[in-house]
Amino acid sequence: MKAGIHPDYHPVVFQDAATGTRFLTRSTATSERTVEWTTSEGTRTYPLIVVDVSSDSHPFWTGSQRHIDSAGQLEKFRRRYG
């Protein structure tokens, strides 16, 4: 890798705004807000980034996704315009 052209890749805590769930990962994103996180090495301070949607609150991953009845809509269209 070329030196000096890549952003800083560091540990960051992301928090879901809807559920409050937090997870520690690595990112190039930064934040002024911080949070204490307990690791195997002890308690450390990491930047906190609040996101609107994560896998904990997204309808696809939670199973609350709406399914559209396309067959019923097709029959309704044919009755109306057929």
26 within domain boundaries: yes
Tokens of residue 40, six digits? 């195997």
| pLDDT tens per residue, range 58-67 | 666 556 655 5
Here the tokens at position 46 are: 């990491």
Tell me the whole-structure pTM to 2 decimals. 0.65
Per the structure, the count of domains in the chain is 1
> Which of 60, 59, 30 shows the shortest CA–CA distance to 46?
30
User: Could you tell me which residues come within 8 angstroms of residue 31 by beta carbon, excluding any fewer than 6 positions away?
Assistant: 12, 47, 48, 49
Q: Is 76 among the domain residues?
A: no
**39-53 tens-digit pLDDT:** 888 999 999 999 888
Domain that holds residue 17: 1-60
**In a 3-state reduction of DSSP, which class is residue 74?**
helix
